[in-house]
Amino acid sequence: MSLGLVVLILGLLYLLIVSPRFRRLAAILLAVLIVAILLFVGWYQHNQAEQKSNREAAKKFIKSSQIELVDPRVSFSNYDGRPDRMTGRIRNNSGYPLESLEIRLVFKDCSPQEQCETVDEEKTEINKSVPQGQSRDFDEYLSGSALSPKGRITWSYEILSVSAHVD
């Protein structure tokens, strides 16, 4: 703590002890500060609730069937086999601008006899603005588990939710 701050604090304490007018002023300032903090907290909570409500409403404008993933590809790490990147193109066939979509990726290890078992699942959100009736390329990093396949790795995706851009 610097010497100047110590002197300031000691000076304020001295004034609080010896000056009734300063005590009244300090009490008023403290009350104003408390009211300002309470108003800010109330505004912040109201704003958060409104944003949550808008996000939930945005998920109802576009149906999953109106969104296409064109030529989606997943690349795997050379180091440990984990899925590390997904690329492709998002086509928005809805009447609303797209803001984001959440997808689930399922990775299966398939034997030569085509017996497959699920070895990993991952949910990821792709935040990409796509105007209605248009397409945009995407490149999303993944954080899947390390895979050590006994056969051949296959993967599939499912669009879980879609959010429209709502002002």
Specify the pLDDT at position 58.
61
Q: How far apart are CA 84 and CA 155, in angstroms?
A: 13
Residues 94-140 pLDDT 10s: 988 999 999 999 999 998 887 899 999 999 999 999 999 999 999 99
Burial class, 50, CB count within 10 angstroms (exposed 0-12 / middle 13-18 / buried 19+): exposed
What does each C-alpha distance from 65 to 59, 88, 105, 163, 165 come to in angstroms?
A: 13, 17, 17, 13, 17
For 83, other C-beta atoms within 10 Å of its C-beta total 23
Would you list the domain boundaries of the chain?
3-58, 64-164
**pTM tops 0.85:** no
CATH of 64-164, one of 2.40.50.840, 2.60.120.260, 1.10.10.10, 2.60.40.10: 2.60.40.10
Residues 84-101 pLDDT 10s: 899 999 999 998 899 999
DSSP 8-state code for residue 142: -
Q: How far apart are CA 143 and CA 124, in angstroms?
A: 9
Secondary structure (DSSP) of 49-91: HHHHHHHHHHTTTS-GGGEEEEEEEEEE-TTT--EEEEEEEEE
162, 82, 91: which is closest to 127 by C-alpha?
162
For the chain, the farthest-separated pair of C-alpha atoms sits apart, in whole angstroms, at 91
- In the three-class reduction of DSSP (H, G, I as helix; E, B as strand; rest coil), residue 134 is classed as coil
